[in-house]
Amino acid sequence: MSQVLNAWVASPVLPRRRFMLVVGLMLLALLAGKLAQPNRLWTEAIGSPVYASMLPDHFGDWQRSDLGVHAVVNPVQSEMLERIYSETVAASYVQKSTGRVLILSIAYGRNQSSDTQLHTPEMCYGSQGFKVGESRVAHLSTPWGSLPVRQVPTTLGSRSEPLTYFVRNSRRVTTDSSLSRNLARMEVALRGYIGDGLLVRVSEITARDDAFALQSGFLGEFLAALTPAQRELYIGASLPPAQTRP
């Protein structure tokens, strides 16, 4: 079998399809070698963010408060927090005009290698007894582009807690798919870096049917309240402009 393969590759004149396949295999081998080399953290390029210091006390109709913080579901069990995350932050904001309380949770990991991945809310809520409904990807229109977020209904007994979250890997928001996350990691790996990761989650303990709309509005206002440098640490480089639908 090996003799046949060697003869096939060593043929004096390779057909175009065979030539392209050989070139593709060589490029894959080169890429694999590059991906095996990253040894610097992405924070060496962007600095080491401290998200607890980047939470505004108020913006728009929202005021930071201690209400509801005790109800935050931890991203993972406490014994794993230090291994997976570099920083976790919880805060709550009260809508002054209605009194509704949204809970903001941030989980950041400087090292997003294969054994230290961010745990999505679907995983952590389910592991703590919540019934997790079918999630869906929505697109939050912002001045910085269309931001993919995921909306997830969860319940625990009589407690209903719909939530919205987004994930940033290195310089891209990658909430929409695992392919996006892998491409984002590959992008910085080719530059010799191990990518970082951020998960931003906002939830409300409520049975109201407008919870996701309120959460989307909150996220848009929250991002607008940040400085440009802070905002890049949340959503990465500028996102592509939102597509206009006819």
Instruction: Name the pLDDT band for 58 (thresholds 50, 70, 90).
Output: very high
**Domain of residue 77, CATH code:** 3.40.1000
Which residue would you say has higher pLDDT here, 168 or 23? 168
Mean pLDDT score of the chain: 83
| CB of 101 closer than 8 Å to CB of 68 | yes
State whether 12 and 124 are in the same domain: no
From the number of C-beta atoms within 10 Å of its C-beta (0-12, 13-18, 19+), residue 134 rates as exposed
State whether 6 and 79 are in the same domain: no
| CB of 204 closer than 8 Å to CB of 100 | yes
The answer to the question of residue 242 being in a domain is no
- The share of the chain scoring above pLDDT 90, in percent, equals 48
State whether 89 and 159 are in the same domain: yes
State whether 22 and 50 are in the same domain: no
Structural domains counted in the chain: 2
Instruction: Name the pLDDT band for 244 (thresholds 50, 70, 90).
Output: very low
State whether 175 and 216 are in the same domain: yes
Q: Tell me, what's the pLDDT at 131?
A: 96
Note the pLDDT tens digit of each residue in 223-241: 999 999 999 999 997 544 4
The answer to the question of residue 240 being in a domain is no
State whether 114 and 210 are in the same domain: yes
Q: What is the DSSP string of 28-63?
A: HHHHHHHHT---EETHHHH----GGGG--SEETTEE
Residues paired with residue 77 on neighbouring β-strands, in sequence order? none
State whether 162 and 210 are in the same domain: yes
Q: For the ranges 38-42, 53-57, 78-82, 187-191, which has the lowest average pLDDT?
A: 78-82
- 51 torsion bin: left (phi>0), alpha (psi -120 to 50), beta (else): alpha
State whether 106 and 29 are in the same domain: no
State whether 113 and 198 are in the same domain: yes
Note the pLDDT tens digit of each residue in 139-198: 999 999 899 999 999 999 999 999 999 999 988 999 998 888 888 888 888 888 888 999
State whether 20 and 64 are in the same domain: no
**pTM of this prediction?**
0.79
